[in-house]
Amino acid sequence: MAEQIVVLEQVETGIHRLLVNRPQALNALNAATLDALEQAIATVAADAASRVLLVSGAGDKAFVAGADIAEMQSLNTAHAAAFSRAGMRVMHALEALPVPVIALVNGYALGGGCELALACDWIIASERAVFGQPEVNLGIPPGFGGTQRLLRRVGRARAMGLITTGRQVRAEEALAIGLVTQVVPVAALMDTGLAIARTIAAKGPLAVKLAKQAVRHGADLDLARACAYETAQFAQAFASADQKEGMRAFLEKRPARFSGA
DSSP state of 123: E
Nearest C-alpha neighbor of 104 from the set 125, 127, 121: 125
Q: Is 135 a catalytic residue?
A: yes
Query: Could you say which of 12, 115, 230, 245 is catalytic?
Result: 115
Query: Could you say which of 3, 12, 127, 135 is catalytic?
Result: 135
User: What distances in angstroms separate CA 246 from CA 38, 202, 204, 250, one per listed residue?
Assistant: 35, 11, 8, 6
Do 168 and 160 meet the contact criterion of CB atoms below 8 Å apart? no
User: What distances in angstroms separate CA 106 from CA 26, 51, 127, 172, 199, one per listed residue?
Assistant: 12, 23, 8, 13, 22
pLDDT in tens, the chain (261 residues): 357 999 999 999 999 999 999 999 999 999 999 999 999 999 999 999 999 999 999 999 999 999 999 999 999 999 999 999 999 999 999 999 999 999 999 999 999 999 999 999 999 999 999 999 999 999 999 999 999 999 999 999 999 999 999 999 999 999 999 999 999 999 999 999 999 999 999 999 999 999 999 999 999 999 999 999 999 999 999 999 999 999 999 999 999 999 888
Do 34 and 66 meet the contact criterion of CB atoms below 8 Å apart? no
Rg (CA), the chain: 19
Q: Is 127 a catalytic residue?
A: no
DSSP state of 2: P
Q: What pairs with residue 12 in β-bridges?
A: 15
The predicted pLDDT at position 261 comes to 83
Structural domains of the chain sorted by starting position, each given as residue range(s) with its CATH number in brackets: 6-201 (3.90.226.10), 205-251 (1.10.12.10)
